[in-house]
Amino acid sequence: MKILVAVKRVIDYNVQIRVKEDGSGVHTDNVKMSTNPPDDNAVEESIKLKESGKVKEVVAVTIGEEKAQETVRKALAVGADKGIHVKSDNYIEPLGIAKILKKVVEKEKPDMVFLGKQAIDDDCNQTGQMLAAMLNWPQATFSSKVNLKDKSMEIVREIDEGLETVEVNLPAVVTCDLRLNEPRYASLPNIMKAKKKPIEQMAAKDLGVDITNRVQQLKVEEPPKRKAGIKVANVAELVSKLKNEAKVI
C-alpha cells in the first residue's frame, strides 16, 4: 500500500503573531516557520503504518514557495520515502489546494491520503473534505485512532458528543487530530540522509487547474485587548453586574 501525506509550512505555533501596520496581513519576514502541527501527526501515523509492514511507501507533498520544501525534508527525515514540492509563490485557498492534490493523487495513485485536520494559520478545515469530494473517496475526519485492515480502515474520530467509530473502504482520505499520536523528532543522521532523498518539483500553474482565489481578504487586525477584571464584594453584587452590565442573565 501507498500513502500520500500532505504537509504545510506555517508560522511556528510558539511565535507571537504580529499584524502588519497597514492591516494587509501578518509579518512573516524573519519569523520562525515550521510544519503545521496536525500535519506532523499525519506524517507520524503514515510512518508508523509503514513500520508495521502494512504500508510500503510514504510520499510527502507540500504546496508553496521555495522555502516550503523544508516541510518535505522534515517528513523525509522522519521516514517518508519520497517528496513532492508543488511550487507557488502566491497564497492558494483550500479549494485550489484540493485541486492540486487531486492531480498529485492521480499521478501517484496512493491507497490513502493523510492530512492534518486543519492548518493553524487560516483554520479553514476544508482541504481534506474537498479533496475527498473531488476524488469521490470516503473520508474520515478528526481521526484520533487508525486501524488499517486489508481493504478498509477503522477510524475513531472525535465529535462534539465524544468518540465515533467508523469504517471506510480504501482508497480514502483521512484528516488527523492532534491526539492521534506523538510525532517523533528527526535524528541528526536521518536529517543528513534526508538531504539525499529525491524531491520532485512541479509548478502549480502547469497542472491545468483553476486555482483562482474566491475569497478576498479585506483587512487583518488584532483582537481588542482584554479589560482588567474586577472584584465584587458578594454574590448579590456579582448577580447585579452580570444582569445589568454584562447582560448575560
**Residue ranges making up the domain that contains 151:** 2-244
Contacts of 176 (CB under 8 A, 6+ apart): 38, 39, 41, 42, 45, 114, 115, 116, 117, 143
Note the pLDDT of residue 26: 87
Please give the Cα distance from 131 to 244 (Å, whole number).
49
- CA of 128: how far to CAs of 33, 41, 93, 140, 211, in Å? 22, 15, 13, 9, 16
CATH number at residue 110: 3.40.50.620
Is the pLDDT higher at 3 or at 217?
3
Note the pLDDT of residue 110: 96
Q: Residue 118 domain-assigned?
A: yes
In the chain, the number of structural domains is 1
Q: Residue 249 domain-assigned?
A: no
Is 139:172 a contact under the CB 8 Å cutoff?
Answer: yes
pLDDT beyond 90 at 193: no
Is 58:76 a contact under the CB 8 Å cutoff?
Answer: no
pLDDT digits (tens, 9 = 90+) for 195-239: 888 899 999 989 999 999 998 888 988 888 888 888 999 999 999
Percent of the chain exceeding pLDDT 90 equals: 69
pLDDT digits (tens, 9 = 90+) for 94-153: 999 999 999 999 999 999 999 999 999 888 999 999 999 999 999 999 999 999 998 999
The DSSP symbol for 229 reads P
- CA of 5: how far to CAs of 108, 131, 224, 229, 239, in Å? 11, 13, 38, 46, 52
Q: Residue 179 domain-assigned?
A: yes
Please give the Cα distance from 179 to 174 (Å, whole number).
14
Note the pLDDT of residue 177: 93
pLDDT digits (tens, 9 = 90+) for 153-185: 999 998 888 899 999 999 999 999 999 999 999
